[in-house]
Structures are given as structure tokens and as C-alpha cells.
């Protein structure tokens, strides 16, 4: 991966977070992971993509995510990019792929990229239709923190 971390070093490994619209859950996970990984000196960099950009997103990122990240002192890079659809190239480039809701994302993934679900770690973070923002993002924060700890322990 050619992206640079904010420390100027090239990351050694990459994680790709997937959700439906690349507007809410995956964007929060990407930004929070990158801050926590950098703070921990972890040689990992996250990005995120969406499996169905036909979702009704207004703007580049959920305002709720912007507020939640600000409360956690995570600064978003400007300009904030718009949602991006996942490609097979994205999947191949990632060392770890995490889809944020198995029930929702496994069928989309399997339809678009048959067989890839075997290489994906599935979490269980509800979207806005099933969980309030604070509940979902707090759960997602715990999952991201756990992932960072797991990657630190793995070396």
C-alpha cells in the first residue's frame, strides 16, 4: 500500500473496513483505527469501502461520525472524501478485511465477489435502522480497540 502514515513511514500492513455505503460505520472504524494504530506505533493503516453505494448518503460522511470522532479527538483529513465502492483490487491489497455486519454484508460480498467471504472477518455492528448512533459507535470503538490490541500482540 502506498499511503503514508502521519508519522511519514510507510505502513507495513493494511486493514480494509467494509460496510454498506462507506458513509457511517466503516468511516468511523477507519479513522479511529488509524489514530489508535499510530498512537500505538503499530505498522498498520486502515482504509474503508462500501458494498452498496446506492444507499441514501447525504454528503461525504455522516455528520454523526464527524461529531463522534471529534469527541474522541480524531482529526479527519481535509478534504473529506466521498464514499468509495470496494473493488477486487481493494480486497487483494488488504492484509485483513473486516465487514462490519455479517448478516448485512456477507450476502453483498458473496454476490459481488464470490468466495471472498472466506477471507473476511465479520463483526456485528448494527446500522442506524437497528441501533442508535451512540450505541453502535461505542460498540464499534470497542471492536476497533480490541483489533488494535490483537494486532499489537501478534507483533
| Assigned domain for 2 exists | no
User: Helix 133-154 crosses helix 63-71 at what angle (to 10 degrees)?
Assistant: 60
Q: How many domains, the chain? A: 1
Structural domain boundaries enclosing 98:
13-154
| Assigned domain for 113 exists | yes
| Assigned domain for 64 exists | yes
| Assigned domain for 112 exists | yes
Cell numbers placing 110: 458473496
Mean pLDDT of the chain: 91
| Assigned domain for 7 exists | no
For the segment 112-125, what is each residue's pLDDT rounded down to a tens digit? 999 999 999 999 99
| Assigned domain for 6 exists | no
Cell numbers placing 84: 468509495
Write the DSSP assignment of 77-88 as a string of letters: PSSPPPP-B--H
* pLDDT averaged per 10 residues, the chain (length 155): 45 91 96 97 96 81 96 94 96 98 96 95 93 95 98 90
User: Helix 133-154 crosses helix 25-39 at what angle (to 10 degrees)?
Assistant: 40
| Assigned domain for 36 exists | yes
Q: How many CA atoms lie within 13 A of 34 on its CB side?
A: 25
Q: Which CATH number goes with the domain that contains 53?
A: 3.40.50.2300
148 in Cβ contact with 42 (< 8 Å): yes
75 in Cβ contact with 66 (< 8 Å): no
Question: Helices H, strands E: what count in the chain?
Answer: 5, 4
Q: What is the pTM of this model?
A: 0.90
* Residue 45: predicted pLDDT: 96
44 in Cβ contact with 13 (< 8 Å): yes
Amino acid at each position: 500500500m502506498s499511503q503514508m502514515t502521519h508519522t511519514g513511514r510507510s505502513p507495513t500492513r493494511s486493514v480494509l473496513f467494509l460496510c454498506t455505503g462507506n458513509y457511517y460505520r466503516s468511516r468511523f472504524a477507519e479513522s479511529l483505527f488509524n489514530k489508535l494504530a499510530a498512537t500505538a506505533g503499530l505498522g498498520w493503516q486502515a482504509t474503508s469501502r462500501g458494498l452498496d453505494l446506492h444507499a441514501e448518503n447525504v454528503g461525504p460522511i455522516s455528520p454523526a461520525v464527524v461529531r463522534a470522532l471529534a469527541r474522541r479527538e480524531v482529526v479527519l483529513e481535509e478534504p473529506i472524501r466521498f464514499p468509495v465502492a470496494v473493488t477486487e483490487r481493494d480486497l487483494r491489497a488488504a492484509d485483513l478485511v473486516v465487514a462490519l455486519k455479517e448478516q448485512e454484508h456477507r450476502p453483498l460480498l458473496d454476490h459481488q465477489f464470490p468466495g471472498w467471504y472466506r477471507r473476511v472477518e465479520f463483526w456485528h455492528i448494527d446500522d442506524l435502522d437497528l441501533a442508535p448512533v451512540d450505541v453502535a459507535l461505542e460498540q464499534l470503538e470497542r471492536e476497533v480497540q480490541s483489533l488494535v490490541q490483537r494486532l499489537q500482540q501478534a507483533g
